[in-house]
Every structure is written in structure tokens, then in C-alpha cells.
Amino acid sequence: LISVRFSRTRRDGEPPLVNGWIPFLGKALEFRKNAHGFLAAHKEKHGDVFTVLIAGKYMTFIMNPLLYPYVIKHGKQLDFHEFSDQVAPVTFGYPPVRSGKFPGMDEHIQRSFRLLQGDNLDNLTESMMGNLMLVFHKDYLDGESEWRTESMYQFCNSVMFEATFLTMYGKPAHTNRHSGMVTLRQDFVKFDNMFPLLIARIPISLLGGTKTIRDKLINYFHPQRMSTWSNTSGFIKERAALFEQYDCMGDVDKAAHHFAILWASVGNTVPATFWAMYYLLTHPEALAVVREEIHCVLKVSGLEADHNQDATFTREQLDSLLYLESSINESLRLSSASMNIRVAQEDFSLRLEGERSIGVRKGDIISLYPQSMHMDPEIYENPEMYKFDRYVEDGKEKTDFFKDGQKLKYYRMPFGSGSTKCPGRYFAVNEIKQFLSLLLLHFDMEVVEGQEPCSLDSSRAGLGILLPATDVQIHYRPRQAREEE
Ligand code: HEM
């Protein structure tokens, strides 16, 4: 490994600098292998704020969640989009939005995110419900009624990928499902496996056939093809109309933007769905409470599942599923490992609590690593344990979590923070709720006995929801079929 000597020395007022001769790439690899352990060890030695050189970048980690608000509210001097606008185009293959070539586009894109939230969520929810039932029926419920075996990740991936795709982009003319969906999903997985390397800026030309696969994925969204699709979400329609306003934008560039949204909408949602399902199925007491809650909600609205009618859920019904929501949030706490990054726009002094402040230099990266907070035993008792009702108190959502005797403003951050917080977060939690509710209503399902507990694969630490290290075998059969026996 190449070793470099830090050319930088710590100035007065700056955080401790982890200094000396260190392997240049070594720190980056060590970080990726076990980011949580790496940061905990540095915190032990250097305190709750310190600077490390990782892959050629000076990164200052703010480890104490009581200090998070001071970073999150610094919108102007600490910018997120500078980073994403460099990395996303290279990863997904479109020209940088903020290059000056596309005046006004960035603002429009930011505004389009409202179409994933608020009242717009009603249409998305209804459409997702229909698409989930379509895929569940065609691929898993119709036909034979005996027990079948399947891999759990595979199951989540095939259902959520297609149902989310149909909800976002719509369906083809004259039929309900897109041809080539299986190939599209398989190509997506191949691309996704290379995602951590692309984000680390390894040139795509060095990654075997990844460029060919990405070109194929992008081509799926060619504007001519998309124009024949119907039931497209307002969000994608508005973005497609926006791209049409820029003559200098080629068809392939437009398609690459749509492909990036496909990644954003399923890249994290599929593993998040897997963990939510895995923890529920392996915790019978949680499963019983959540199942009961779902049946109650349907009963109250006089819509209990019967043999002839597919029970579905409205958005209000989904909102009222308190224990289900807590169980999903608990699995997000345990499986998310995203890093929140801000780039200093100038040399300045970042005010922390009281009289405390730290010197930051232009171009430095300020990082929050919420996994350290999610696994802090002072905030979450027995943090390694899955407690499905951790976020319920007195029949309401629990929002009081403490550190050093002080109430935390931020205690669960799988979706990032501040102005760059994931715009799809409400839709994401909603669709996982829908998936699980339908699963519990319409299937008998169990994890095949004798398997090792599933662990996290940390190779995408810093980038979002971690994947499982191995897949899990499940048995299932349509529930209705059993009741009719
Ligand atoms: C950005 C997480 C689902 C659309 C992000 C970010 C995170 C995240 C951590 C970066 C925010 C930051 O760094 O501050 C997740 C997780 C999901 C999920 C954990 C599922 C459990 C979705 C879905 C959609 C979506 C379903 C769309 C339908 C986006 C978009 C951005 C984004 C468009 C970029 C926002 C920007 O450029 O400002 N997401 N996300 N996400 N997410 Fe999600």
C-alpha cells in the first residue's frame, strides 16, 4: 500500500487530526470494512469530533448526536449538493445538473420532489397497492395451493422492484406488465453490486462489463419508449416534461436521469423491505401483535379480508398502523449505515454547543455517521436487539430519546438530514407497510428452520441500507387456500 505523510498540520481551534504515516488507501479500506468500529475506536481516543484523511479527503466526523443540529442547520457554509452533483452523474451517466449548461434545472428537480409527498402520496399509495396485488397474485398467489420454498431476498426483490417500477413509471400500452422485467432486474442487481466502487470513483471502464449493463439499463428509459407507457406517476411525468425544455439534453441523458431515480427508489427500499420482513418473521411475538393490529384496522373499517375479496388499505389505514410502523423503523435503525456528508464552502468556524466551535477549512468534508447513534447503548438499551415496539409509548409514537440527560432532536436517521433528506421517505415507509400488510393477510409464511441468523454485509457501509450477508430460505403458501381446506 502507498503510504503518505500528512502535509497538513492542525491549526488552533481545529479538531484533533488523526496524524502520522498512514496507508493512503488503507484507511479507506479499513473504514469500509468496519466503519462503525473504526469510528468508535477513534472517538475513544480523540473525543467526539476529529478529522481523518480518508481516500485523499479530510473528513471531520461529528460523533455526538447532541451536536448534529449544529451541522444540519448550517445550509449555506456546508453544502451537500456539491458532493452529490459530482458523484451522481459519474455513477449514473448523465451530465452534471449544476454545470451551468442547464439553467434552472436544479431548482425544478428539487421542486419535483413534492410530488412524492403530502396529498400526492394518496395516488402513489393507491397505485402501489394495485401493483403489489398484481405481482403477488400473478407470481405467488395464483395457482397451486401447497407449500413452496423461496429465498427471502429474492422474493422481496422481485415483488418490490416490479411494483415500485410500475408505480413510478407506469405500464406499457395494452398490457399490465413490462416484458423483460426479469432481465431488467437482473441487470440492475449486477449494476448495484458495482455501486460502491462507482461511488468511490473507480472509472466504469475498469469495472468489466458494467458500462454495457448500465447502457442497457439506461436505454430501457428511452423517451420514445416511455411516451407509450400509461399510469405514470406525476413525479416522473413532471421530470420528463422538464427535460423536454432543454434542447441541449440528449435522449440518452434524459434516460440516464430516469434510471438514477430507479436506483434511488429501489436501491434502498428492497434491502429495507427484506430486513423489516426478516425481523418480523423471526420474532413471533412481534408478528402476532402486528398481525392483530392489521386485522383490527380492517375490522374497524368493515373490510375484513374474506375469501372472495382482496383486502387492500387506504393511506389513512396505513397511517394508523402504529406497531407495524415501529417495527419497520426498528429494522431501519438496525440495518441503515448511510453517511451524511457536507462540504465546507469556505474557511469558517462551526459553532457547536455553548462556547464551543471548531475551525473548518474550505473543501473539507463534515460527516455524520448515524449508525453510531443507532447503536449507542445510552440512547437505545441493548442496541443490538430487535425490539419491534421500541418506537411506541402509551399507545402513541415514542419520540423521546436521550443522551447525557438531554432530549435528542435527531435519534433515527436512515433517510439523511436537513435540506438533503430523502424526498421519498414517506413513500418508502408506506410501500414497506403495504408489502408487509398484504403479506401477512394473504400468505402463510415461515423461515425454514436450522438456518444461521442473518448478518449484515458491510461492504456498502456509508451508502445506505446494508444488504444481508446471505439469503434466507422461506416456506409459504396462499393463506386463502388454507382457509378453504
Ligand atoms: C436521497 C435513503 C427510498 C428518492 C436519499 C438519501 C438517503 C436516502 C440517505 C440521501 C440524503 C442525504 O444524504 O442527506 C433512502 C432509504 C430508502 C429510500 C433508506 C428506503 C428505505 C427512496 C424512494 C425514493 C427515493 C422510495 C423515490 C421514490 C430519493 C431521491 C434522493 C434520495 C430522489 C436524492 C435527493 C436529492 O438529490 O436531494 N435517500 N431512500 N428514496 N432519495 Fe431516498
Any ligand 1 atom below 6 A from CB of 267: no
| Cα(268)–Cα(286) distance, integer angstroms | 23
**313 CA to centre of own chain:** 23
Write out pLDDT tens, residues 156-186.
Answer: 999 999 999 999 999 999 999 999 999 999 9
In sequence order, the β-bridge partners of residue 443 are 478
- Which pLDDT score is estimated for 80? 77
Write out pLDDT tens, residues 318-363.
Answer: 999 999 999 999 999 999 999 898 999 999 999 998 888 999 999 9
* Ligand 1 closest atom vs CA 113: 33
- Which pLDDT score is estimated for 307? 45
Kindly report the protein residue whose alpha carbon is nearest to atom 39 of ligand 1: 422
% residues pLDDT > 90 (the chain): 70
- Among 120, 422, 432, 467, the mutation site with the greatest number of ligand 1 atoms within 8 A of its Cβ is 422
| Cα(40)–Cα(45) distance, integer angstroms | 9
Q: How many CA atoms lie within 13 A of 448 on its CB side?
A: 13
Write out pLDDT tens, residues 468-479.
Answer: 999 999 999 998
More confident position, 199 or 399: 399
Distance 318 CA to ligand 1 centre (A): 21
- Among 72, 131, 343, 415, the mutation site with the greatest number of ligand 1 atoms within 8 A of its Cβ is 415
| Cα(127)–Cα(231) distance, integer angstroms | 9
Write out pLDDT tens, residues 135-158.
Answer: 999 999 988 789 999 999 999 999
SS3 for 23?
A: strand
Any ligand 1 atom below 6 A from CB of 416: yes
Mean pLDDT (the chain, rounded): 90
Q: Which long-range contacts (CB under 8 A, 24 or more apart) does 397-406 make?
A: 397/322, 397/325, 397/326, 398/326, 402/378, 403/64, 403/65, 403/66, 403/376, 403/378, 403/379, 404/66, 404/378, 406/66
- Which pLDDT score is estimated for 376? 96
Q: Is the pLDDT of residue 3 over 60?
A: no
Q: Is the pLDDT of residue 460 over 90?
A: no
Q: Is the pLDDT of residue 89 over 80?
A: yes
Write out pLDDT tens, residues 52-76.
Answer: 887 778 889 999 999 999 999 876 7
- Which pLDDT score is estimated for 2? 43
Write out pLDDT tens, residues 393-416.
Answer: 999 999 999 999 999 999 999 999
Any ligand 1 atom below 6 A from CB of 422: yes
- Residues 6 or more apart in contact with residue 47 via CB below 8 angstroms: 15, 16
Q: Read out DSSP for 235-272?
A: HHHHHHHHHHT-TT--HHHHHHHHHHHHHHHHTTHHHH
Any ligand 1 atom below 6 A from CB of 169: no
Distance 69 CA to ligand 1 centre (A): 20
| Cα(431)–Cα(426) distance, integer angstroms | 9
Q: 185 burial class (0-12, 13-18, 19+ CB within 10 angstroms)?
A: middle
Amino acid at 84: S
Any ligand 1 atom below 6 A from CB of 65: no
ipTM for this model: 0.98
* Ligand 1 closest atom vs CA 261: 33
pLDDT-derived band at 308 (thresholds 50, 70, 90) equals very low
Distance 463 CA to ligand 1 centre (A): 11
Contact indicator for 111, 416 with CB cutoff of 8 Å: no
